[in-house]
Structure 1
């Protein structure tokens, strides 16, 4: 049973039983109250851990920058990353992308992100689209 404010009355009841010589009854009440207290302590600790985790997640989210394709973490005015957009959006996981000659690769989900090419004045059509980082979603 979850402790309530009425549990406070149980202490008085235990004291009354002890004064009237019913030590076994008083011990039984105090034992139940002790169990309730320990359960409350465990629940309180769990809630504190959950609040700390939420605070860390909110702090992390405030320091994430999305460049249109992938994420960067801003720490002490420095960019760290890049990190996979899919892994972060789906699972809230920061999976650092592995750099290759022409693309970035996510070891977590396997997605590829093409690297941006230097812009040329005469680029048009498909070439201009491929010049941007595009996630390639595959199996």
Structure 2
């Protein structure tokens, strides 16, 4: 890449070359300045895209809530999810958990999350909640891929 000083003085030099009748040299210099300008434009567009991606990530981070085991997305007063804690923490991806009879499963990392159990009213008719099961618990078991 050419320096900013080269860019600033390059147009004056090209003008001087054309005035002196050195057209071929002037064309080469203008072509080099044009190439540098196009590279700067490409870099500028890439930086704009990166900035937009960062803004999206920051906006999303403000809407994501962690309940101690899994993530939920809160938008416009609506709660969506749940999403895999491992995939979000590791890769920044909101991967929906798929509900089964007794657990949720992440189809990306294959993490399993137990569903909370309902109150157990056997024996003494008083509800007994299992504190560890009030929230889902990730098992972090990996399935063997067949």
TM superposition score normalised by structure 2? 0.87
CA contact (8 A) 1:119 1:131 kept: no
Superimposed CA distance per residue, residues 29-73 of structure 1 (whole angstroms, 9 cap, x where no aligned partner) = 100000000000100010000000000000000000101100000
CA contact (8 A) 1:3 1:36 kept: no
Task: Show the 5 A alignment for 1:45-124.
Answer: 45-120=45-120, 121=126, 123=128
Decide whether aligned partners of structure 1 residues 78 and 131 sit closer, same or farther in structure 2, where only a CA change above 3 A counts. Answer: closer
Q: Which residue of 2 aligns with 1:134?
A: 137
Q: Which runs of 5+ in 2 are unaligned?
A: 121-125
Whole-angstrom CA distance in 2 between matches of 1:131 and 1:87 = 22
Q: CA RMSD in A?
A: 1.6
Shift of 1:131: 4.6
Q: Which residue of 2 aligns with 1:20?
A: 20
CA contact (8 A) 1:103 1:114 kept: yes
Range with bigger deviation, 86-95 or 5-14: 5-14
Q: Which runs of 5+ in 1 are unaligned?
A: none
Shift of 1:123: 3.2
TM superposition score normalised by structure 1? 0.91
